[in-house]
A and B are shown apart, each in its own frame.
Chain A
Amino acid sequence: MDSLRENLTMATPTTDGKPSHDVHGGLPIPRRAANRPVPGAELLRGWYRELVLIREFEIRCMQAYQDKKIGGFCHVYIGQEAVAVGCVAALKPQDPLVTAYRDHGHALARGMTARACMAEMFGRVDGCAKGKGGSMHMFDREHNLFGGHGIVGAQTPLGAGLAFATKYEDEVINNGKSSRVTLCFLGDGALNQGAFHEALNLAGLMNLPVIFVVENNGYSMGTSIHRGTTQSHDLSSKALGYGIDSAVIDGMNLLEVYHGMKDVVEKCRRESRPAFVDMRCYRYKGHSMSDPRKYRTRDEEELWEQGDPIGIFEKFILDQGAITHDQIKALQKEVKAEVRDAVDFADNSPVPPMSDLYHDVYREPWGRYTGTSEPRMYGGAMNPPTFRATREGDGLI
């Protein structure tokens, strides 16, 4: 039907750098990077730094979680770093990005500081959402990160809506040409949510420039993809039903992610049409911090660890002469210091003031809002409120 799909079925199977233990049971992944010009050394080093930063950040998150500094649910990104870094590298800064709850990697790749991200995890006032979002809800307006969404699949219609809005702004309001693409990440578990299918249908129908990137790590929590998803060997069939182009990309290999996504992003931008990506990857840790991973074998994990995205990329840039062993050591040291600083920063950041409880519920300040629920604060829990609800005769606007 379309060129991307042809690419896929014509591709020659290859196992370079990839374990033979295939949890996805999928069709072979086409290779793209070998025939492309290698990006400049500075860019390569920058990507490498991001990979290492995300890995280090997540390791420290796990420690902080064990130390009970981080509460609630916490889903770490270890093993999937190349996906966020490679995808973001293929975007422009003005392109909106929205993702699911395993979102720390995307936030860092998009440019959020480790400090703001860690402080959010700690529930502190210097967090990206002032400590009111938490691990699953990372938002960053400056970097066009539209969340972090906790309900599986909920972000897929939002992604379609972001694309609708950029296209509407460019074409209807400014009478120009659609110029931005939206990247909407989801896990393979979201493939089975109704919202995902409705979003694909709408995106296909309305020619929305949105790319649905399935971070297919083979497991929706503890359910392997073949136990929960039909056609799991060929996810492009999900998109085919909605007339949407698709691609399969090796998510463990940063260069493959970058070049593969570059193609998809350019086509999406040029044609203002949606796309679908089966991004094959593996999470090394559990679904969340409480997951003992009894649904898979240690052998399987070890095989995948041999194809560590950081190891693959590190070897590549060393071979390219883009970096030296000494530079790697220095860089790792620098990143460790940066993340340690982020943890210290988060630990020292104040907890949100109690008055924040009633802020950002509505755009309107409480003083003008006459709601059903009064901000009634009991003895000593907070400073006296500087706002009052429901004064007699109070109106709005």
Chain B
Amino acid sequence: MSATQELEFRDAIRDAMSEEMRRDKRVMLMGEEVAEYNGAYKVSRGMLDEFGPRRIIDTPISESGFAGMAIGAAMLGLRPVVEFMSWSFSLVAADPILNNAPKMLFMSGGQFGCPIVFRGNDGAGGQLGSTHSWSVEGLFSNVPGIKIVIPSTPADAKGLMKTAIRDDDPVFFLESERLLGMKGEVPVGEDVLVKFGQACVRREGTDCTIASWGRPVHFCMEAAEALAKEGIFCEVLDLRTIRPLDIGAIERSVRKTSNLVIVDQSWSFGSPGSEVAAQIHQRCFDDLDNHVHRVHTEDVPAPYAFNLEQEYLPNTRKICEAVRSATYNA
């Protein structure tokens, strides 16, 4: 095993970007407050000092404009990393990020690709209210041509970001503001990458598979811990990327446990969670002891009040309830 160092989630992302920028001059970072302010969430702190204003570029509050501009630059051969302060703000850039980036390769008959990374905070933060709490994986996973990455640990954040920057397709990299301060051991090394489309088994178990991605993986781990004390042993799978989706890993785990609970922080209707459920019902119909259970964010706009927001999100209690129900322990 290679050496590791302890890093905050935000610094793991920063290190990934910086290493790739040292390696490849075509890589640059742009977004609101990424340079002189050192990043609204300090993800890019220090990068302006190292790379200068030609490569770390402050943009005006103009998501549609700078997202489109970065896509044009990617078509010509640069490899831009674009920070959305929040993915909630990406909605005003819907046309460039959904109509241009993922379709350029296809509708140009393979002539113009779009090697670009869009990254920023996704999911509810701390009482940010309805407009700032989007989990955009629910919306964007519907669109072919995009890769969607949603890491849950600093090590994955770094390895997946490096893969994202080296990838030739548009990558949506979804970070969680709630996780940015989380510390973890991160492998040292320029070429330690995490592959897309490979789930990670966070905890082994025999009774029920819990599949999740991003921040809710931590709630799943808490739930698994609590359930183990009740004698229910859960296997926790962290998908890490939604497109590509490692459905094979879930399938293998379900064949072992015969039960599946999906935990997805986006709304349930037409979500990654519902897609996984559909695919697993199709693939593992005879292996399942119960129908696939899903824990989603409640089907309402994000509330502001603390207690309501806690109940709105997937949480440990709800996951435990779902697992007990799935395993007939309710």
Q: Do A and B bind each other?
A: yes
Q: Which stretch in B59-67, B211-219, B262-270 binds the other chain?
A: B59-67
Expressed in whole angstroms, the Cα–Cα distance for A309 and B169 within the complex equals: 43
* Residues B68 and A156 in contact, CB atoms below 8 Å apart: yes
- Chain B interface residue bracket vs A: 35 or more
Known A-B contacts A198-B64, A201-B65, A371-B245; A165 and B72 likewise in contact (beta carbons under 8 Å)? yes
Answer yes or no: A164 CB below 8 A from chain B CBs.
Answer: yes
Q: Note all chain A residues with C-beta closer than 8 A to B141.
A: 372
Q: Residue-by-residue, is B179-196 near A (CB-CB < 8 Å gives 1, otherwise 0)? A: 000000000000001011
Answer yes or no: B226 CB below 8 A from chain A CBs.
Answer: no
Expressed in whole angstroms, the Cα–Cα distance for A130 and B109 within the complex equals: 5
Cβ contact of A154, chosen from B73, B99, B145, B244, cutoff 8 A: B99
Known A-B contacts A202-B62, A373-B144; A362 and B105 likewise in contact (beta carbons under 8 Å)? yes
Expressed in whole angstroms, the Cα–Cα distance for A397 and B279 within the complex equals: 24
Q: Note all chain A residues with C-beta closer than 8 A to B113.
A: 363
* Residues B243 and A147 in contact, CB atoms below 8 Å apart: no
Q: Note all chain A residues with C-beta closer than 8 A to B76.
A: 96, 146, 161-162, 165-166, 169
Give A358 Cβ to nearest chain B Cβ, in Å: 10
Q: Which stretch in A84-92, A271-279, A342-350, A386-394 binds the other chain?
A: A386-394
Q: Note all chain A residues with C-beta closer than 8 A to B65.
A: 157, 160, 195, 198-199, 201-202
* Residues B100 and A158 in contact, CB atoms below 8 Å apart: yes
Expressed in whole angstroms, the Cα–Cα distance for A131 and B112 within the complex equals: 15
Give B276 Cβ to nearest chain A Cβ, in Å: 9
Answer yes or no: B70 CB below 8 A from chain A CBs.
Answer: yes
* Residues B195 and A396 in contact, CB atoms below 8 Å apart: yes
* Residues A127 and B109 in contact, CB atoms below 8 Å apart: yes
Tell me the nearest residue of chain A to B111, going by C-beta.
A141
Q: Which stretch in A132-140, A225-233, A322-330 binds the other chain?
A: A132-140
Q: Count residues of chain A with CB under 8 A from any CB of chain B.
A: 62
Q: Note all chain B residues with C-beta closer than 8 A to A391.
A: 248
* Residues A360 and B67 in contact, CB atoms below 8 Å apart: no
* Residues A168 and B78 in contact, CB atoms below 8 Å apart: yes
Give B216 Cβ to nearest chain A Cβ, in Å: 19
Answer yes or no: A205 CB below 8 A from chain B CBs.
Answer: yes
Give the contacts of B72-120 with A (CB-CB under 8 A): 72-78, 95-96, 99-100, 104-113
Expressed in whole angstroms, the Cα–Cα distance for A158 and B64 within the complex equals: 10
Q: Residue-by-residue, is A119-161 near B (CB-CB < 8 Å gives 1, otherwise 0)? A: 0000000011111111001011100001101010010111111
Q: Note all chain A residues with C-beta closer than 8 A to B108.
A: 129, 133, 137, 139, 141, 147, 360
Tell me the nearest residue of chain A to B54, going by C-beta.
A172
Cβ contact of A363, chosen from B28, B67, B169, B198, cutoff 8 A: B169
Q: Note all chain B residues with C-beta closer than 8 A to A158.
A: 68-69, 71-72, 75, 96, 100
Of B25, B28, B100, B195, most buried by chain A (CB within 10 Å of CB) is B100
Q: Give 25 CB contacts A-B under 8 Å.
A: A129-B111, A137-B108, A147-B104, A157-B65, A157-B68, A157-B72, A158-B75, A162-B73, A162-B76, A164-B78, A169-B78, A195-B64, A198-B66, A198-B68, A199-B65, A201-B65, A202-B69, A361-B145, A370-B245, A371-B144, A372-B245, A392-B251, A395-B195, A396-B195, A396-B244
Known: A128-B109, A131-B109, A393-B248. 4 other contacts (CB 8 A): A132-B107, A169-B76, A395-B195, A395-B197
A-B pairs with lowest CB-CB distance, top 4: A161-B72, A157-B68, A198-B65, A129-B109
